[in-house]
Structure 1
Amino acid sequence: MEFFAELAGSMLDNMERHLLGFLVPKDRLFALWLLSSGLIAWFVYRSVKGTRHAEDRTFLRFLFPGRVWSHPSAWLDLRYFVFNSIFGKFLLIGITAASTAFGYRLFAGGVAFTSVVGQGDLSLWAEFAISVSFMFFAMLVSDFLAWFCHWLQHKSPLLWQFHKVHHSAEVMHPVSNYREHPVDNLLYMSVIGAGYGVMMALVVRTLGYLPGMPMLLGMPVLMLLFNLAGYNLRHSHVWLRWPGKLSMIFPSPAHHHVHHSSHPDHLDKNFAFMFPIWDVVFRTYHMPEDNRDVKFGIGEGNAEDLTSCLRLYWVPFRDAWRVIRAQAKGEPFSMSKPAAPEKLPRTHEVHPAE
């Protein structure tokens, strides 16, 4: 009985930390990130207000449109958020730290991690320059690892069965960011953690120590700026892209909207998290002028099994087993993605993405 009491207590503590994330800067729903996204959304609202495309007369209706909040998918996201806050995080405890330590030890040549964190014997300005450079380098490497892992999640029939949970959202709001299968997160965190550890080991062997990063609110300044620049609009109905080729350099909400779109022109595009340049380099970048063809989800008929919290958990395991059996028999297996442009008719009205 003591074991179950401790388990229940841990689950409640985990749920409390998850649900009070708006007080924690490292959480995706931290109040400051939500407020900054709301402010950017207000500027978007002002830019479209009074045009023939404006469907919402007040900012409140623009921010919380009925077409989003009357959709069952929006409320499934909220239920799954609570459900996953209790159960889903147990699988991920320590994964990132363990994989980072593994990657570091593999390439560090026996140099203990605790003995290399700090500053070198350099001037203050030189150390600051190295610190800023290391921050950009580390974020760039991490984003490449994220791009590669994300690419695998889309290209592997087995991994897609778990990743499609995230793409099954047919409307999006900031909590949709949490519609993730634990196995999907397990792979993501393991790959990035191990790769980051290797990167740290190589930096230590090059410099003789591991530089720090400029930090604010407990995170690298670059990550803080990224969160302030409309992070929570990435999973929302508010379409915002930067003008010209800026979207190839700086991530915009529209970059991720296209990634979530089920239109055939948008499939398997825009895998990068912070730096769209990886998509440009590997030719997975796509940015339309407007959102007329952006339609969230995994295509008609493909999300019918993913309609409850429990099904979001177990259906991927069922489908993954089907993939394994099909591959063992040498049979083809459908990735459950739209296959031809004619399956999704083009629309011609521009509005915040549905």
Structure 2
Amino acid sequence: MAISSPLEAFLNGSERVFWGYLLVSAIIALVWYVRQGNTLSWVQLKRYWWSLDARLDYRYFLVNWLIKTLLILPVLLSGQTVALWTLSTLNVVADPLFLPWYYRDIVLLYTLSLFVLEDLSRYALHRWMHSNPWLWKIHQVHHSAEALNPLTFYRLHPLENILFALRHAVVAGIVTGVFIFCFGARVNLYTVLGGNLFIVSLFAFTGNLRHSHIRLGYGRWLERVLISPAQHQVHHQRRHMRYNFGSALAIWDGLFGTLKVSREAPDDRSFGLGDDKRRHFDSVRKLLMQPFFSIYSSIRRTLK
């Protein structure tokens, strides 16, 4: 469902920047910062929250919301459409199963299946955005930030938003169609604050620290299961962008050889794409247009 105002993202429990998640993340960040022996001042806070990158993220968040609401959401394929197509296809080859499971077991399995398959598909698409030269020109928008803050999560090009929205529609639609085929209409989702139970439980309260300078690690063992804020910050370091593509679960990175625990990477804060590319992504207009310029230049070089 489209949000009617960009401010509603802060009131919606299914959004990363829901005020409750931000508050808990702020408390965790403050405790972490003090335990490091640091002192917090107004000057430091102002320098962080009013940096050039932060101000760009604030403006881009509003513009991207407008593009998403007016141009992208009205024409996107919906999960409901995919679910109906999946169910129709399955009905052609076999009769519905209507398995007599307990309702609570169906809901739990549906919630878990959505979480795991959504997470796997996010890993796959994220990794593809890095490995495909055309998609990388689009994904560079996100990696152009040299100072990370929670709204950096929304520094995505509209084309990337479309790809991830289509991914969600396909995965959620197929899973829903299969479950209706197997169990009938007894399909529901366990939610907390409007979000999938497992997503909220595992990383919603620290998710905003991923795009921050609070290097919160989970320890060597747990970081092989869950992606910590520190691991995602490692992913944003220029020399380590080929690691830690996972969203919530680290098991996909472990299975496919792209895992790096935070202790294996220095905390050098080398975020961004480097000085030679900084000027290409220093305004809202450039964040929107630079991928098209880069793709056009590549096509011209190919045709010569």
TM-score category, normalised to shorter length: 0.7 to 0.9
Give the direction of change, closer, same or farther, for the CA distance of 1:60–1:120 in structure 2 (3 Å limit): farther
Q: Distance in 2 between matches of 1:288 and 1:33?
A: 23
Match of residue 72, structure 2, among 84, 92, 100: 92
CA distance in 2, matches of 1:293, 1:210: 50
Correspondence 1:318 to 2:293? yes
Indicate if the aligned counterparts of 1:157 and 1:323 stay in contact, CA closer than 8 A. no
- Structure 1 match to 2:115: 139
Q: Is the 8 A contact 1:42 1:59 kept in 2?
A: no
Equivalent of residue 142 in structure 2, options 157, 166, 170: 166
Alpha carbons of 1:248 and 1:65: their partners in 2 closer, same or farther (altered >3 Å)? Answer: farther
Q: Which has the higher helix share?
A: 2
Q: Which among 11, 17, 26 is matched to residue 23 of structure 1?
A: 11
Residue aligning to 2:33? 45
Match of 2:55 in 1: 75
After TM superposition, what 4+ stretches of structure 1 lie above 4 angstroms from structure 2? 59-62, 119-122
2:82 is aligned with 1:103 = yes
Alignment partner of 1:275 is 2:249: yes
1:192-229 C-alpha deviation (Å, 9 max, x unpaired): 31132122223333334452122232222222224543
Look up the match of 2:226: 250
2:41 and 2:109 map into 1 onto residues whose CA distance is 40
Q: Which amino acid aligns with 2:278?
A: A
User: Does 2:203 align with 1:224?
Assistant: no
Q: C-alpha displacement at 1:105, in angstroms?
A: 3.6
Q: Does the 8 A contact of 1:36 with 1:228 survive in 2? A: no
Letter matched to residue 180 of structure 2: V
Instruction: State the aligned residue count.
Output: 296
* Contact 1:95–1:186, Cα closer than 8 Å, also in 2: no
Aligned residue type for 2:73: I
Shift in CA distance, 120/270, structure 1 to aligned 2, threshold 3 Å? same
CA contact 2:60–2:284 (8 Å) conserved in 1? yes
Paired with 1:144 and 1:312, the residues of 2 have a C-alpha distance of 27
Q: TM-score, normalised by structure 2?
A: 0.87
**2:23 corresponds to which of 3, 26, 35:** 35
The letter of the residue matching 2:244 is: N
Q: Assess, with a 3 A threshold, how the Cα gap between structure 1 residues 274 and 95 changes in structure 2: closer, same or farther.
A: farther
* Structure 2 residue 25 is the aligned partner of structure 1 residue 58: no
Quick check: which has more Rg, 1 or 2? 1
> Please, what is the CA RMSD of the aligned residues?
2.6
Q: Which amino acid aligns with 2:23?
A: L
Displacement after TM superposition at 1:246 (Å): 0.2
Counterparts in 2 of 1:189 and 1:228: CA distance versus 1, 3 Å: closer
> Contact 2:118–2:172 at 8 Å: present in 1 too?
yes
Q: Assess, with a 3 A threshold, how the Cα gap between structure 1 residues 228 and 105 changes in structure 2: closer, same or farther.
A: closer
Deviation string 1:258-285 (CA, Å, 9 cap, x unpaired) is: 111112xx12211111111111111111
Paired position in structure 1 for 2:128: 152
Does the C-alpha gap of structure 1 residues 90 and 143 become closer, same or farther in structure 2, counting only changes over 3 Å? same
The CA deviation string for residues 216-258 of structure 1, in whole angstroms up to 9 with x for no partner, is 3222222222454311111111100101210121231112111
* Structure 2: distance between partners of 1:73 and 1:215: 34
Q: Distance in 1 between matches of 2:67 and 2:198?
A: 31
* Mapping of residues 181-220 of structure 1, within 5 Å: 181-209=157-185, 211-220=187-196
Work out the CA distance in 2 between the residues paired with 1:214 and 1:142: 15
Residue 304 of structure 1 aligns to a residue whose secondary structure is: helix
- Aligned counterparts of 1:308 and 1:295: Cα–Cα separation in 2: 20
In the alignment, what sits opposite 1:335? none
Change (3 A) 1:65 1:239: farther
| CA deviation vs aligned residue, 1:288-345 (integer Å, no higher than 9, x gap) | 316423411112312221111111111111112223344455xxxxxxxxxxxxxxxx
